Structure 1
Amino acid sequence: MPAQLRQWHLLSLRALDARLHGESYRAVAEVLLGFRGDKEDFETDPRKNKARRLVAHGIRMMRGGYRLLLHYPVKPIPRSKGD
């Protein structure tokens, strides 16, 4: 897996964990994406949308998307005709 994709998955799970523990998108952006600024700055900063995308991806992974990391669906092993 490419390093950039691996980093995206890790950030997604960390962002989801933060949101599930009640943190705001702004707090997620501050800790994970390095955002520094006030509320008005955050409204126009692209890291706001990135934080939302990270959480959305984390939710998809939580709901079963993690299987894609394991290359599911696994093809069944063909049986011999005698089985």
Structure 2
Amino acid sequence: MAKGMIRYWAAAKDAAGVAEEPFEAVTLAELMTNVTLGRDELARVVRRSSFLVDGDPVGRRAHESIVFADGVTVEVLPPFAGG
């Protein structure tokens, strides 16, 4: 089980009610399950979001395949309007 920090941006930050929070999880899939439990609005935003893990985009990779190391930073990036 890795320990890390999750950072929320824009609508994800509003839905989470915090800018960042510590977590313990093995994979990105497990982390998303844990942080959205009982947080319906955050779950809705997360479904449309993209993710950075230590600055690297996750892209279309399966969240189960993203395994964390200790000290990882995960950023939740909801879709942004404009260009």
Radius of gyration: which is bigger? 1
Fold in common (TM above 0.5): no
Q: Which has the higher strand share?
A: 2
Q: Which has the higher helix share?
A: 1
TM-score using structure 2 length: 0.26
| Bigger RCO of structures 1 and 2 (CA < 8 A, at least 6 apart) | 2
